[in-house]
Amino acid sequence: MAALRAQLLARLLASRGFVSGADLSRDLGISRGAIWKHIEALRREGYEIAGSPRRGYRLMKQPDSLLPPLFFQLLSGTFGRSYYYYRQVRSTMDVARELARQGAPEGTLVVAEEQTGGRGRRGRVWFSPRGGLWFSLILRPPVSPALTPSLPLYLSLAVAKAITAVVGTPAQLKWPNDILLEGKKAGGILVELSAEAEVVSVAVAGIGLNVNLTSFPPELGTAVTSLQNVTGREIDRGKLLAACLKFIEENYPLWCATGFTPFREEYKARLTLLGTEVTVHSRNGAVHGRAVDVDGDGRLVLLLPQGEKRFLAGGEVTLKKE
Ligand code: BTN
């Protein structure tokens, strides 16, 4: 059923004008009545399809949709070609991990319109209603586990570049991997790894972007925003997702081969809080100091009041409170 609808949509997309019901029925091998039922279903999904008894059907307008036939047209590389699309899941991380366990190839993408149990870093709940971009990408980097702390940083840079390219708004970064717009959090990245002793067997990269959201629960306060809130318009999520994949994929071999160093300057150029006094909260407690650099391993370099430098591989940065 879904495959037939996808075929019908692809046929309408490929045609600039009307396609007769007879042609569609012949091409898809189903009755004209069945074609009409699929057209109605597509209309319910938000496609505007003109129908004329003499001329047939014509696609007038597509919804902002991540549905496979539309989305595949936007892809430029190999990531995302293995595509799992859900209206609702608990978390795309769970689905992707299970697919990875079953042997899904690198570049497999899991997307959900809505997550009921979206999760963020440090065990937090991730607000994931309809309108956002919530996806997990399966990576199988042939690298040693020692390289992986910089993977989320590499990914956040790629996503920031995608936002700037598609939306035109300069996206900034907060170490290690928060995506900021106008100083407020608009997205985040969660990487879950399984590693053998020597090599990473799979990394599931979960990326959440507040795209077409206009309001947030009060507990998130005023520190969050969305692309729609910042630009004042609805963003095409399919285009943005395809751009994220393109930017992730194009330099991924370089990251696998050399690590974070080639991306360090570009990453630092988008970084906020560099040069300011911060507190970094990590498993080992809180450290205060001035954020002065990010090194070639992606570690934040803090200059402590006593003049000593501290290299931090993970944690949560806040502006220092006196
Ligand atoms: C963060 O805390 O900043 C990271 C948030 C990551 C959220 C994404 S949304 C898609 C994927 N599925 C999840 O449950 N989490 C990640």
Q: What angle, 0 to 180 degrees and rounded to 10, lies between the N-to-C axes of helices 32-44 and 21-28? A: 100
What does the alpha-carbon distance between residue 107 and residue 118 come to, in Å, rounded to a whole number? 21
- Cα–Cα distances in angstroms (integers) from residue 267 to residues 48, 185, 254, 292, in the given order: 41, 17, 15, 14
In short, whether 118's Cβ falls inside 6 Å of ligand 1 is yes
Exposed/middle/buried for residue 36 (C-beta within 10 Å: 0-12, 13-18, 19+): middle
Q: Return the pLDDT at 313.
A: 92
**Residue nearest ligand 1's atom 3 by CA:** 188
SS3 label, residue 256: helix
Separation CA 195–CA 234 (nearest Å): 39
Question: What's the CA-to-centroid distance between 119 and ligand 1, angstroms?
Answer: 5
**Which numbered atom of ligand 1 lies nearest the CA of 189?**
4
Q: What angle do CA 273, 276, 278 make, to 5 degrees?
A: 85
C-beta 119 within 6 A of ligand 1: yes
Predicted confidence at residue 146, as pLDDT, reads 87
Tens of pLDDT, residue by residue, the chain (322 residues): 578 888 998 899 888 899 999 999 999 999 999 999 999 999 988 889 999 999 999 999 887 668 887 788 899 999 999 999 999 999 999 999 999 999 999 999 999 999 999 999 999 999 999 999 999 999 999 998 888 999 999 999 999 999 999 999 999 999 999 999 999 999 999 999 987 777 788 999 999 999 999 999 999 988 999 999 999 999 999 999 999 999 999 999 999 999 999 999 999 999 999 999 999 998 888 999 999 999 999 999 999 999 999 999 999 999 865 4
Q: Any idea what the Cα angle at residue 234 is, between residues 188 and 183, rounded to 5°?
A: 40
Instruction: Give the pLDDT score at 282.
Output: 86
Q: Could you tell me the pTM of the whole model?
A: 0.85
**What is the spatial distance between Cα 202 and Cα 199, in angstroms, rounded to a whole number?**
9
Instruction: Provide the pLDDT for residue 322.
Output: 44
Are 244 and 159 contacting, i.e. CB atoms less than 8 angstroms apart? yes
Quick one: tokens of 84?
């799992």
Could you report the per-residue pLDDT of 76-126, keeping only the tens digit for each?
999 999 999 999 999 999 999 999 999 999 999 999 999 999 999 999 999
Contact 124 CB / ligand 1 (< 6 Å)? yes
Among 20, 71, 72, which Cα is nearest to 50's?
A: 20
Please name the residue whose Cα sits nearest to atom 2 of ligand 1.
Answer: 120
Give me ligand 1 centre to Cα 156, in Å: 12
Q: Using a 6 Å cutoff on CB, does residue 259 contact ligand 1?
A: no
pLDDT at 267: 98
What pLDDT sits at residue 63? 77
Q: Which residues contact 15 (CB under 8 A, 6 or more apart)?
A: 58, 59
Using only C-alpha atoms, what is the Rg of the chain?
A: 22
Q: Which pLDDT value is given to residue 46?
A: 81
- The phi-psi region of residue 33 (left if phi > 0; otherwise alpha if psi is between -120 and 50; otherwise beta) is alpha
Tell me, what's the pLDDT at 65? Answer: 65
Interval between CA 59 and ligand 1 midpoint (Å)? 34
Q: Is 226 in the pocket of ligand 1 (CB under 6 A)?
A: no
83-89 and 109-115: which strand pairing?
parallel
137 Cβ inside 6 Å of ligand 1: no
Q: HEC profile for 169-193? A: CCCEEECCCEEEECCEEEEEEEEEE
2 phi-psi bin (left φ>0, alpha ψ -120 to 50, beta other): alpha
Alpha-carbon gap, residue 181 to 162, rounded angstroms: 13
How wide is the angle at C-alpha 303 spanned by C-alphas 299 and 158, nearest 5°?
Answer: 30
d(CA 244, CA 162): 5
Pocket residue to mutate for ligand 1, from 128, 237, 241, most atoms within 8 A of Cβ: 128
Under 8 Å between Cβ of 139 and 167: no
